[in-house]
Structure 1
Amino acid sequence: MNRIHYETSGIQNSEIKTQLKNALDKINGVSMVNIDVARGSIEVGYNQSADENLIKSCIETVGCEITGQSLEQ
């Protein structure tokens, strides 16, 4: 499983956190989503069938701005 970690701005409350988690969970291949509102961070675990660009686009569509990212394999 690959993991990617995003630093973001825009996760302001639990409603946005829930919307973001639900949207990411719908992406085929995403198996884990951890969102830390206080730190503004999102960690996503995914397999090869998930597209990293789709994950990033999903986060931005919900209204969060990605300010940094790191990939772990």
Structure 2
Amino acid sequence: MNHIRIRVDGIRSDTEKQQIKNALDKFEGVREVAVDPTTRSISVKFNPPSTEQEIVDCIRSTGHDPIS
């Protein structure tokens, strides 16, 4: 199983937290999603066919840009 942790800016509410989780849960292969507004991070455990790039793109589509 693959794991990615992405720091993002601007998770301001439980609604946004749930929006990110729901968007990622739709991907085949995504097994676990944890969104932590306190640390501004999203942890995703996944298997193929999901990829890191698809996950990052999905997070961006919810209006949250990864912090490098």
TM-score category by the smaller chain?
Answer: over 0.9
* Higher strand proportion: 1
Structure of higher RCO (CA pairs closer than 8 Å, 6+ residues apart): 1
Q: What is the aligned residue count?
A: 68
Identity, % of aligned positions: 38
Matched, 1:39 2:45: no
Ranges of 4+ aligned residues in structure 1 off by more than 6 Å: none
RMSD: 0.8
Structure 2 residue runs of 5 or longer lacking an equivalent are: none
Deviations 1:27-48 (A, max 9, x none): 1110000110111000000002
The alignment's TM-score, normalised by the length of structure 1, stands at 0.88
The alignment's TM-score, normalised by the length of structure 2, stands at 0.94
Structure 1 residue runs of 5 or longer lacking an equivalent are: 69-73
